């Protein structure tokens, strides 16, 4: 017979269909219990897209801002202080530890981003990983203030020429290239985390009256 094994047994999962009315029977009591359960389930509102009512609630810009800070472990008081530093000093610095060495990074200026873009146009890396590595290296060098006993000059962005800023940048980039590979990668990771923190602090919904 079609859809059967050599010994005549139907193939499980094939086109075998049992008798039309071959369904498990239940008593009137069992049927009433099932119907009652279905009625109770129908009274329960299903969550929106699998989320709880609290998760499905739309957050305001201010609430999203505070949540983004909380996710990074940043308190609103700290965010306000960093904003004030950026306005009064023009930059903000933060220190990290790599073993016994102290790494200090500062926020960058727009000129630093333009320098990295110019280098991308010159080198034209073909792979996304190469693009990301160049950007990470240039961003970290642009932010570098201190590593261990080494301190690095940053030109006054309000008075320095572009040539003077590039001249101050070169020793930082050279220092980055000559670090042990895993130290350089750790420095770049801290710089990335630092940038994510700054993005969150100056994100949409940030307080205007800091």
> Residues of the chain with pLDDT > 70: what percent?
72
Q: How far is CA 201 from CA 79, 107, 144, in A?
A: 6, 12, 20
**89: helix, coil or strand?**
helix
For residue 29, give both structure tokens: 């009591």
Q: What range defines the domain where residue 115 resides?
A: 61-201
| Dihedral sign of CA atoms 156, 160, 162, 164 in order | negative
pLDDT digits (tens, 9 = 90+) for 13-46: 444 444 444 544 555 655 555 566 555 545 445 4
- Does any domain span residue 5? no
Of 169, 141, 137, 138, which Cα lies nearest the Cα of 155? Answer: 169
pLDDT at residue number 30: 59
Q: What predicted TM-score, i.e. pTM, was given to this entire model?
A: 0.71
Inside any domain, residue 42 = no
Q: Is the pLDDT of residue 56 over 60?
A: no
Residue 81 located in a structural domain: yes
Residue 7 belongs to some domain of the structure: no
Alpha-carbon distance values, 77 to 17, 68, 81, 84, 103 (Å): 69, 14, 6, 11, 24
User: Is 56 a domain residue?
Assistant: no
- For 129-144, how does the pLDDT look when each residue is reduced to its tens digit (9 = 90+)? 999 999 999 999 999 9
Domain count, the chain: 1
33 within domain boundaries: no
Q: Is residue 119 part of a domain?
A: yes
């Amino acid at each position: 017979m079609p859809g059967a094994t050599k010994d005549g047994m139907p193939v499980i999962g094939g086109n075998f269909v049992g008798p039309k009315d071959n369904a498990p029977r239940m008593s009137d009591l069992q049927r009433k219990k099932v119907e009652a359960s279905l009625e109770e389930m129908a009274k329960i509102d299903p969550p929106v897209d699998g989320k709880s009512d609290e998760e499905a609630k739309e957050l305001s810009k201010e609430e999203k801002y505070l949540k983004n800070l909380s996710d990074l472990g940043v308190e609103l008081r700290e965010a306000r202080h960093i904003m004030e530093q950026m306005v009064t000093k023009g930059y903000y610095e933060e220190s990290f530890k790599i073993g016994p060495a102290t790494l200090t990074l500062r926020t960058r200026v727009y000129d630093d981003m333009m320098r990295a873009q110019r280098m991308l146009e010159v080198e034209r890396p073909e792979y996304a990983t190469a693009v990301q590595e160049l950007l990470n290296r240039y961003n970290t060098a642009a932010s570098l203030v201190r590593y261990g006993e080494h301190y690095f000059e940053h030109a006054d962005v309000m008075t320095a020429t572009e040539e003077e800023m590039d001249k101050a940048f070169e020793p930082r980039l050279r220092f980055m290239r000559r670090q042990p590979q895993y130290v350089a990668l750790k420095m770049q990771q801290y710089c990335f985390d630092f940038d994510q923190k700054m993005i969150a602090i100056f994100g949409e919904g940030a307080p205007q009256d800091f």
